[in-house]
Chains A and B, each alone.
Chain A
Amino acid sequence: MAENSVPLPGSIDLTRSRGYAPTVLERLHGWLVTVDHKRLGILYVTYGILFLLVGGAEAIAIRIQLAVPRNDFISAQVYNRFFTMHGTTMVFLVGMTIIFGFANYLVPLQIGARDMAFPRLNAFSFWLTAFGGLLLYYSFIGGSGLSGAGSAPDVGWFAYAPLTARAFSPGHSTDYWALALIVSGFGTLGTAINIVTTVLSMRCKGMTMMRLPLFTWLMLVDSGLTLITITPLTAAQIMLLIDRYLGGHFFDTQAGGSAVAWMHFFWIFGHPEVYVLVLPAFAIANEVIPVFSRKAIFGYPAMVAASVGIAFISLSVWAHHMFTVGMTSFSNAFFVLSTELVGIPTGIKIFNWLATIWGGKIRFATPMLFAIAFLFQFLIAGLTGIMLSIAPWNWQLHNSYFVIAHFHYVLVGAIVFCIFAGVYYWYPKVTGRMLNDTLGKWHFWLFLIGFHVTFDTMHFLGILGMPRSIYTYEPDRGWKTLNMITSAGGIIQGIAVLIFAFNLFWSYFHGEPAGDDPWDAWTLEWQTSSPPPVYNFAQDPVVRSRRPLWDLKHPEDPDWEYEG
């Protein structure tokens, strides 16, 4: 599609294979035993999107239940299970798998490597994560033991003590929850180690740290953050299992243990986790925004520094989830200030993206639409975040729908929008076909409208005092209309996601052939064919600037003459 034809001669092997077609069973076996980073990346993202549909269905059920007062679409017990499973699924089985899928697929390609640093560890990590997901969902069948009826975990995604103690959570559902997160946590740890090592040790010639594509840079920061974020959760889950199975007293207040300790341990994981999820969203925006604005990213070193800064600051903000627990005024002040500090590097990023778009020749293709929506929504998410970081304001609105609205603005408005941008952007590279643009526009506009109808409204519900995690409410509370609107938005989002899923499937067979570089982009993954051959590059690439493909396409005006 693009004028400048890549791959260049020599970058892929043109020798024809001997025309041997493997059987279906052989193909499946190939996917099962694969250690290829591209196939594992596809497995991660497919797995994540399947669970996106499952977690989305749970959200729809929650919203149908809340659409009208005193509804009994699902019982209180099922409601508790659904919001627990919705949260756990979306964070661990959707967010984490999709972002690591992107990293798996793209990082080796962007740094001109043959594969990840440890391909077998990579496969092992994926299957651990996949097994963790199955373990979590098996609780629907085995949560009360095989003889009893099934019950999924119902303790909320942050599973505060002492609700998780044996006395209050009998049966095995909470154990499935803890074990699933330990298992998938080890998978995540393996992947994080792999990505850090790949970026540091597998770069092609000339790919110095300050020439890394920003996507790769952010995935490096993200994986480094993951190393020290997911492990405290594993430690806390081990303590929980010791309490539940060996009669330990970590979170047993009757034996001197502390329920607040669990809160600290959980949020020491839980808050940096938000940044683990959002940094890859920034990473995708860093690739999409420059390519569709036809300009190099504005302020590359500042972007790198801001990302490292965000990761660093995010480690010291966790207790802003706990203002209502009752901390000393020193702790309150510390966590208010550290939380507000995050606004500085994040603000730098927003201004840099705006400066990249400014004066650019903007192409409003589907990936760019999602990226622009992300910019706008992430700004609002950040502003409500600053509101919530102020302790007195937090005391007023904690555990209300305002908080739900705020973090869904981050998780959906920023992260999911960027994931969609990334899928539309890289799908041609992965499959060799473009995603259908008409369906893509329908997906975008419906999802955008549905998103705002749902989550803008939720802010008002929160201010009107509607608490989170309630399965129904009285008709005279004044929440009726807004809840109906919120639920309607949820349905619109559901339809949009189904259109997206259909588009993924349909375009794989009927999409317009993409060519190797459909967006006229600048990073190394667009230099090889679409889909890339197993070996990625027949010759190891050599780079001299941050935009190696720009240099190839414009030898008269290469980037290295400008970069310091």
Chain B
Amino acid sequence: MSATTGMPAAYEGQWRLPPRGKVGMSSLIVGESAIFTIFVVAYVFYIGKSLSGPTPRQVLEVPIFATICLLSSSFTVWMAERAIRRNRVSTFALWLGGTICLGLVFLGGTAIEWHKLIYQDRLTISTNLFGTTYYSLVGLHATHVVIGLLMLTIVFLFAVTRRVRGQHAERITVLSMYWHFVDAVWVVVFTVVYVIGR
């Protein structure tokens, strides 16, 4: 049929299309960014509008350690991706396990922070506007961390049972794109909640 449509034969070899996984994940990230944008805008808009205490300055402590953990997990997941591209499954599993640990430490940090806020400072989601916007925004981000950790753990289990190989590198890239996104969102959340909002 290529003869009838007159396509030059030389054309056929060089038909390149962007990979599905990356395009799909990029689209998801665009959509998710819009969700986060609305929550971030709401947070910024409501800064200082609470009619009662506690205020962010009184109760919030900057989670420096948790932040360092989460941001360095972007590096470990990148190293994992590099390892699987070179078909080194054990190294891959190691870096991936490191990523999961760092993510868990971050979540643990959030848990401790929330425990302190709820039981010591008596700040819940219904206490005041600050509580509403804080728990919603940080909680939305934490939900994304949990989802990311679930996916990373599934891949980790496949890796330790030797079911992941070099040919799956493309899919690992897609997963790591999501994880980088979760990290990047934290930079925004961190800036808004702990730097501007405090």
Contacts and interface: CB of A to CB of B under 8 A. Distances in A.
B57 interface: no
A541 B12 CA distance: 12
A560 B5 CA distance: 10
A249 interface: yes
A552 B42 CA distance: 56
B11 interface: yes
How many chain A residues sit at the interface, stated as a range, is: 35 or more
B5 A249 contact: no
A542 B2 contact: yes
B34 A239 contact: no
A227 B12 CA distance: 33
Contact of A247 (B20, B34, B46, B126): B126
A8 B4 contact: yes
B38 A193 contact: no
B37 interface: yes
Contacts of A543: 5, 7
B136 A193 contact: no
B167 interface: no
Contact of A118 (B18, B20, B31, B49): B20
Interface in B1-51: 1-2, 4-7, 11-12, 15, 17-20, 23-24, 27-28, 30-35, 37-39, 42, 45-46, 49-51
A255 B31 CA distance: 31
Q: Which of A200, A238, A249 has the most CB of B within 10 A?
A: A249
B23 A197 contact: yes
A23 to B, nearest CB: 36
B24 A232 contact: no
B149 interface: no
A interface, by DSSP: helix, strand, loop or mixed? helix
Q: Do most interface residues of chain B lie in helix, strand or loop, or is the interface mixed?
A: helix
Size band of the interface chain B makes with A: 35 or more
A560 B33 CA distance: 41
Interface stretch (B74-82, B112-120, B127-135, B190-198): B127-135
A243 B128 CA distance: 11
Contact of B4 (A239, A249, A552): A552
Contact of B34 (A201, A205, A231, A258): A231
B5 A548 contact: yes
B125 interface: yes
A551 B7 CA distance: 11
B7 A205 contact: yes
A231 B126 contact: no
Interface of B: 1-2, 4-7, 11-12, 15, 17-20, 23-24, 27-28, 30-35, 37-39, 42, 45-46, 49-51, 125-126, 128-129, 132-133, 136, 140
Given A196-B23, A261-B45, 5 more contacts: A205-B15, A227-B27, A227-B34, A255-B50, A268-B38
